[in-house]
């Protein structure tokens, strides 16, 4: 037994251990690897980024029960549709509906050709940015599903997944009146759904 020994933690991205020469040398010496699963990603998002004050959870749960019929119809008939397992996590996921989180995860995997958007740090970044848009809203207001389109539109354009004409039209419409903004949001959702269907 060694007293006063040292312990080294190396925290890296999902591919950095094998992709970085200096870290590759450490692999033989430090053999215990802990990799994050999807459940770990969900736990970090729910317990850190989407954490809520305990006294607010009942109001959120009540809002779910009042609107469960409408929520359960979102993406009905698809693999992303509402599940009974969503009900216990709804207050934790709020203001993002569980159906929308699954939709975003699937869309990010399809749209991300580099494989980085589906990684933990990027999922955390997206969730953190999106909840900033909802901070001043009353309970019951959820994040729109089209957020992911507008958040990633420039990257999609640069990677040539999004046609320039669609990008320009939706950008102009988002600056217009209420009907034009609605048209832009609908186009963004249609684009995402078409990409999911094509995959």
What are the backbone angles phi and psi of residue 186, rounded to the nearest 5°? Answer: -65, -45
Banded pLDDT at 116 (limits 50, 70, 90): low
**Residue 17 CA: distances (Å) to CA of 109, 119, 121, 173:** 22, 15, 16, 44
Supply the pLDDT for residue 167.
95
Rounded Cα gap, residues 111 and 23, in angstroms: 29
Is pLDDT of 117 > 60? no
Residue found by looking up tokens 């999922």 in the block? 123
Lowest mean pLDDT among 8-12, 55-59, 157-161: 8-12
Q: How far is CA 116 from the centre of its chain?
A: 13
Q: What is the pLDDT of residues 150-177, one digit of tens each?
A: 988 998 899 899 999 999 999 999 999 9
Q: What is the pLDDT of residues 124-145, one digit of tens each?
A: 788 888 888 888 888 888 889 8
DSSP 76: T
Is pLDDT of 43 > 70? yes
């Amino acid at each position: 037994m060694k007293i006063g020994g040292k312990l080294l933690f190396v925290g890296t991205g999902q591919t950095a251990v094998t992709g970085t020469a200096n870290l590759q040398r450490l692999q033989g010496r430090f053999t215990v690897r802990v990799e994050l699963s999807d459940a770990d990603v969900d736990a970090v998002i729910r317990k850190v980024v989407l954490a809520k004050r305990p006294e607010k959870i009942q109001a959120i749960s009540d809002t779910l029960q009042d609107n469960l019929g409408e929520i359960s119809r979102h993406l009905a008939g698809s693999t992303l549709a509402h599940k009974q397992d969503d009900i216990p996590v709804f207050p934790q996921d709020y203001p993002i509906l569980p159906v929308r989180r699954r939709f975003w995860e699937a869309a990010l995997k399809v749209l991300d050709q580099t494989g980085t958007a589906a990684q933990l740090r990027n999922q955390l970044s997206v969730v953190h940015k999106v909840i900033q848009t909802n901070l001043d809203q009353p309970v019951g207001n959820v994040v729109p599903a089209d957020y992911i389109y507008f958040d990633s539109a420039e990257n999609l354009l640069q990677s040539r997944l999004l046609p320039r004409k669609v990008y320009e039209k939706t950008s102009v419409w988002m600056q217009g009146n209420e009907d034009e903004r609605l048209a832009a949001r609908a186009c963004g959702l249609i684009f995402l759904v078409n990409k999911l269907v094509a995959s």
